[in-house]
Amino acid sequence: RNVDDGHVIFLNSVAGHWVFKNAMYSATKFAVTALTEGFRTELRAMQSNIKVTSLSPGLVRTEFLPRYQRSADPKSDIDSAYTKTFGFVVLEADDIVGAILYVLATPDRMQVHDFIVISAGETRSLT
């Protein structure tokens, strides 16, 4: 196609930058961080105009936590599972969509390398 523009966004996690209690999960996310940086470096070596971003959200409200905690009814227990476990309001999927749209809207001269997005109540010390 001879196209040399575009944007690749790797959906990573804060666990790719900070090690948490589940070290194996963090190790897989650190691998995504390395893959992103390696891919970006290879594109730059080819003098490509393709942008590469790693988007690393913190806790996002999904059905994962209640299922992980083996709740009887994951759909009805989502809010209480997060509030009881962490004590603060977590990000919503729409927040991540907004972050992706922001990255995609940047001018050609600008590249967002690493975009860490966390809830206002989240800290680096979560375990």
The catalytic site residues sit at 25
> What is d(CA 53, CA 51) in angstroms, rounded to the nearest whole number?
7
Structure tokens at 120: 């206002």
